[in-house]
Structure 1
Amino acid sequence: MKKLLIYSMVLIIGLAGYAQEIPPEITTTKEPGRLNFNVGLETSHLWRGLIINPSITITGDIHYTFDKKQNFSVGIWGGNGFDGKYTEIDYYVQYKHKGLTVGLWDLFNTTNVEHPEVFNYDKNATTHLIDFRSSYRFPEKFPLRIEADIILYGNDRELTSDLNYKNRYSTYVELGYPIIKNEQITLDGYIGGSFSLDGKSNLYSTNLNQNFNIVNAGLKASKEISILQYKLPVYAGIMWNPSEKYTRMQIGVSLF
């Protein structure tokens, strides 16, 4: 498995480096392409303090922007574990302007789902999550980042006293700040908490009797490294989840 991973990375990097050597007159356009895609590789897939996949994961993102400034986009994000146990496909619409990002995501993680139904949106049976996301980063003088996300619909249910299910509207809020930022490296620190707007518990914690939890805290260092005349954005981070009492180290690279 390690040899396969190394060979795959060398091949992808080599192709990307070759693509950069194409003459400018062939690749130069008047404006950036509206259709694009990105591929990443990470040692594990972590999300809001949760360990979604504990093993090596390949991720991809295909997106299309509707305007010249590339503020408004639609896309598909996917993740697959190298061990074949983790599979996820997400659909999204997103708007970005300066430091503001607002998006609506349809999350469809089929891990451990015996019969996944991609078009099943029944409120009592769907495995989809409709996730509203928002974040804002203040200007460089004080580059604090604030994130607030709410699960609006789907597999975020709580059983009521009359044996019916209701949506909890699980909410995740995070604060992040670049502790160190220079030409070589950036070190970000962050802390995130979770709660539900209508329920005794929330999606991000297994504690069914506590609504508010600190579920995500950590440090993330990122920089660019040069391989075969190609610059690769890489990162390494450490995450702690005080509520679930575990920690994980994550290393990743954006291949292109």
Structure 2
Amino acid sequence: MKKFLISSMMTIIGLASYAQDLSSDGMMNDEPNRLDFNVGLATSHLWRGLIISPSATATADIHYALDKKQNFTIGVWGGNGLDGKYKEVDYYIQYKHKGLTIGLWDLFNSTNVAKPQVFNYGKNTTTHLIDLRTSYRFPEAFPLRVEADVILYGNDRELQADLTKKSRYSTYVELSYPMISNNQIVLDAYVGAGFSLNGKSNLYSQDPTKNFNVVNAGIKATKNVTVLNHKLPVFAGLMFNPAEKHTRLQVGVSLF
């Protein structure tokens, strides 16, 4: 685990240095740096009402803008539990313009997988999830955010009576709204539901007989904390999953 963290940090530092060299050589002085990365820490990793990692988790996002306006981005997102159990590496391509975001993600969570195969995309054997993500935030006069995501392919299959498996196309829809928003703090409230387009169950609930479930609800507060003259975005959130009847308090920080 230590070797992995050290090698990952060396890779990130090397990429950042490379981007800085390009800028200093005058190759990119007429536009913002296209290569960037972010690192964060959280007490757990929660995703769409699911507890992906119950222990403290470090995350990193390395991304590169394909155009000068930085609307199109490709990137790699990774998460590692500090206890060494949770491991995930995702690849994505994403488009952002004003309030609209559309992304295609390849999710590869190798936690509890005996022999993870990163290049295995077999219909019945892959552990990948191909996730289409869309969201839109309305203008400031009514800043409601609407999210709709669909699992297009991968380890999201339902066993049939003839012992074959078919894709469920599990879908997640979420509404969120900033109840408080000022110069000091932002408090968002949200609610999300999971259902499948082609099955009796969905990825976000353990109930094999119920298609539609409210799986994610809660609040999330975000503010900047000044440490040694640097502002660090920190958050604290309370998540409740009505379908699975579990809840978590999560605290995290974006280091840079």
TM-score scaled by structure 1? 0.89
Q: Which residue in 2 is equivalent to 1:108? A: 108
1:250 aligned partner, one-letter code: Q
**Structure 1: how far apart are the matches of 2:30 and 2:45?**
37
CA distance in 2: counterparts of 1:216 and 1:78, whole angstroms: 22
Q: Which residue number in structure 1 is paired with residue 255 of structure 2?
A: 255
Question: How far off is 1:235 after superposition?
Answer: 0.3
Distance 1:29 1:225 in 2: 31
Query: Counterpart in 2 of 1:42?
Result: 42
How do residues 42-191 of structure 1 correspond to structure 2 at under 5 angstroms? Answer: 42-191=42-191
Match of 1:134, as an amino acid? T
**Across the two proteins, how many residue pairs are aligned to each other?**
237
Q: CA deviation at 1:29?
A: 4.1
Whole-angstrom CA distance in 2 between matches of 1:197 and 1:157:
12
What RMSD, in angstroms, separates the aligned Cα atoms of the two structures?
Answer: 2.1
Q: Distance in 2 between matches of 1:194 and 1:225?
A: 34
1:198-252 CA-to-partner distances (Å, cap 9, x unmatched) read 0000000000010000000000000001000100000000000000001000001
Give the Å deviation of 1:31. Answer: 2.2
Gaps of 5+ in 2: 1-23
Distance 1:63 1:186 in 2: 26
Q: What amino acid maps onto 2:123 in structure 1?
A: K
* Shift in Å, 1:30: 3.5
Aligned identity (percent) is 70
The alignment status of 1:245 with 2:245, answered yes or no, reads yes
Which stretches in structure 1 are left out of the alignment for 5+ residues? Answer: 1-25
Q: Secondary structure at the match of 1:209?
A: coil
Structure 1 runs of 4+ aligned residues shifted over 2 Å read 26-31
**Matching residue of 1:206:** 206
Greater shift, 26-35 or 158-167, is seen at: 26-35
Confirm whether residue 195 of structure 1 aligns to residue 199 of structure 2. no
Q: Mean Cα displacement is larger for which, 141-150 or 27-36?
A: 27-36
Higher relative contact order (CA 8 A, sep 6+): 1
